[in-house]
Amino acid sequence: MKAVSVILLYFAVAVVCSHDHFDSSPSCGYRAPDVAAIQAMAHRERHLQASTPSPRALFRCEACRGGSRFRTIDTYIHVIQMMNRTGHLPDAVLEESIQVTNELLLSTGFQLKVVSTKRITNDVWYLSESQSDEEMDMGHQLKQGGLDTLNIYYKAAIVDGDRVCGYANLADDAVYWPEDDGVVIDMRCATNKTILAHEFGHWMNLLHTFDGGCFPGDLVDDTNGQAMPMRYLSDECPDPLPDTCPDAGFDPLDNIMDYAPSGCGDIFTPGQVQRMQNAWRNIRRA
């Protein structure tokens, strides 16, 4: 199953990551499904919706335990560092990252609750590539909880030889590879405002706003079509905004699931929130 999926996803990964060298433009290296795979996802999801009696309401502000308005997700942080302390991150950086991420997640109904933060010294794990045997060994030894538990690994994030800012697997894939389920953040991006919220979005089944191009797109109705990511070296939002798909409005550069810097805004749309909550109900908490 895994080998087949990796081959299926390879083309899209090559496109997404080919210009992701850290020094020029650090970015996300998650394995985006290709257009055929996204079309298959769309088909499956339409089927699932048709067989669900009535659309379920968003769960913010309702039915959450303990009087909380939010669904809290148990979160385990693993900081991998090298023998010479490369990769060491102070507690303050980790705490700030969770706090900033929880602010970005306010609109989603989810909040991260850190259960433990562990520091591990292991040069091989620190330098392990995405989906390598070494990284799987790390996951098998460190991972806590089931599909409803978030494991965050801080280390060097390397995908196909490129150093990236982070990556994660989709909830859909976690079903097949539960032992590898989690989010990896490169220690050099630990202070990036949006990276953890962005990878959490993938973990909750969100695609990039530009995955799937103009059609079928990202399987979310209220994000404008976007043919490709646009990256800016400055934090200023371009004016006018680019518009890379016909009849779809401006590219959603304010979206957390795009690569644009924070200057354009950092939002999830209601459609993305619904998709995340569906992933929680149908996959992660199921």
Interacting residues with ligand NAG (CB under 6 A) = 26-28, 82, 84, 86, 165, 189, 192, 194-195, 198, 259
157 interface partner picked from ligand NAG, Zn ion, none, CB below 5 to 8 A per type: none
* Residues of this chain that bind Zn ion (CB under 5 A): 28, 30
192 interface partner picked from ligand NAG, Zn ion, none, CB below 5 to 8 A per type: ligand NAG
78 interface partner picked from Zn ion, ligand NAG, none, CB below 5 to 8 A per type: none
73 interface partner picked from ligand NAG, Zn ion, none, CB below 5 to 8 A per type: none
User: 81 or 278: whose CB is closer to ligand NAG?
Assistant: 81
At 137, which helix (H) or strand (E)? helix 133-142
CB of 126: closest distance to Zn ion in angstroms?
A: 22
Q: Cβ-count burial of 63 within 10 angstroms (0-12 exposed, 13-18 middle, 19+ buried)?
A: exposed
Alpha-carbon span 52 to 214, nearest angstrom: 28
User: 30 or 143: whose CB is closer to ligand NAG?
Assistant: 30
User: 60 or 193: whose CB is closer to ligand NAG?
Assistant: 193
Here the tokens at position 78 are: 């693993």
User: 151 or 255: whose CB is closer to ligand NAG?
Assistant: 255
Q: Is 184 helix (H, G, I), strand (E, B) or coil?
A: strand
User: 54 or 84: whose CB is closer to ligand NAG?
Assistant: 84
30 interface partner picked from Zn ion, ligand NAG, none, CB below 5 to 8 A per type: Zn ion
Sign of CA dihedral 42, 44, 50, 55: negative
- Specify which residues 117 forms β-bridges with: 77
CB of 180: closest distance to ligand NAG in angstroms?
A: 21
CB of 152: closest distance to ligand NAG in angstroms?
A: 14
Alpha-carbon span 268 to 254, nearest angstrom: 9
CA dihedral 195, 193, 248, 173 (to 10 degrees): 20
User: 135 or 199: whose CB is closer to Zn ion?
Assistant: 199
216 preceded by a cis bond (ω within 30 of 0): yes
Per DSSP bridges, beta strands 150-155 and 110-121 are unpaired
Ranked by CB distance to ligand NAG, the top (closest) residue is 198
Report whether 276 contacts 257 (CB < 8 A). Answer: no
240 preceded by a cis bond (ω within 30 of 0): yes
User: 24 or 116: whose CB is closer to ligand NAG?
Assistant: 24
84 interface partner picked from ligand NAG, Zn ion, none, CB below 5 to 8 A per type: ligand NAG
Ranked by CB distance to Zn ion, the top (closest) residue is 28
189 interface partner picked from Zn ion, ligand NAG, none, CB below 5 to 8 A per type: ligand NAG
CB of 86: closest distance to ligand NAG in angstroms?
A: 4
The residue with tokens 């969770």 is 98
Alpha-carbon span 131 to 109, nearest angstrom: 30
Alpha-carbon span 224 to 244, nearest angstrom: 10
Alpha-carbon span 199 to 183, nearest angstrom: 6
CB of 62: closest distance to ligand NAG in angstroms?
A: 29
